[in-house]
Amino acid sequence: MQKKFGGSAIFLDRSDINTDEIIPAKYLTEVTKEALKPYILEDLKIDGFDPKSDELKKATVVVTRENFGCGSSREHAPWVFEVNDVHTVIAESYARIFRQNMFNGGMLAIELPKGDIDQLIALQQQGEVDIDVDLPAGVLTAKAGSENKQFSFEISEFDKALVEAGGWVEFADARY
């Protein structure tokens, strides 16, 4: 079943955020996804960022910079987003394994050029940013205050099929 995308955005304005920052290794002893929930972004180093903030609790979209999710292959990183209802990540670029893990779980890892990410981040000044994802059209609409901006994005046919199937296990099981 396809997941719900879009919603309230949180901005992580830094490149090279690694999976140890998204979910520290000491929590890898958990054997259920739900148990990871409180530890989201616990070790993230960005000035002013608070992993316990209401803003993060409310967020269902993460907007960030280059090489997001680098480091360990742990799928606990997409899972900690999933169990916190963050099903959409928008970044300039991703580490390969993290990106694949997002689509394998039926979630979205959207790539936008730096200029678009700059505009999205600037939009925060107008207030809370809400992002709507139109997957078939490949269009993101970001709303903040009275401003309204659109960005087009591309994902591959394969990634789209994974999202529609609800993930790689479903896709592969039906086909192989």
Query: Which parts of this chain interact with other proteins (CB under 8 A)?
Result: 16, 18, 20-21, 24-26, 28-33, 43, 45, 66-67, 70-75, 78, 93-97, 100-101, 104-105, 156-158, 161, 167-169, 172-173, 175-176
Q: Which is nearer to other proteins, 13 or 147 (CB)?
A: 13
Task: Give me the least distance between CB of 139 and other proteins, in Å please.
Answer: 21
Amino acid letter for position 144: A
Residue pair 41/22 in contact (Cβ under 8 Å)? The answer is yes
Task: Give me the least distance between CB of 168 and other proteins, in Å please.
Answer: 5
- The sign of the CA dihedral 44, 125, 15, 162 is positive
- 108, 158, 96: which is closest to 132 by C-alpha? 108
Residue pair 138/112 in contact (Cβ under 8 Å)? The answer is no
Task: Give me the least distance between CB of 113 and other proteins, in Å please.
Answer: 15
Q: Which is nearer to other proteins, 6 or 167 (CB)?
A: 167
Task: Give me the least distance between CB of 66 and other proteins, in Å please.
Answer: 7
Q: Which is nearer to other proteins, 57 or 96 (CB)?
A: 96
Task: Give me the least distance between CB of 84 and other proteins, in Å please.
Answer: 17
Q: Which is nearer to other proteins, 147 or 170 (CB)?
A: 170
Tokens of 112: 């936008």
- Environment class of 152 (CB within 10 Å of its CB; exposed 0-12, middle 13-18, buried 19+): exposed
Q: Which is nearer to other proteins, 9 or 64 (CB)?
A: 64
Q: Any idea of the CA torsion for 56, 58, 64, 69, to the nearest 10 degrees? A: 70
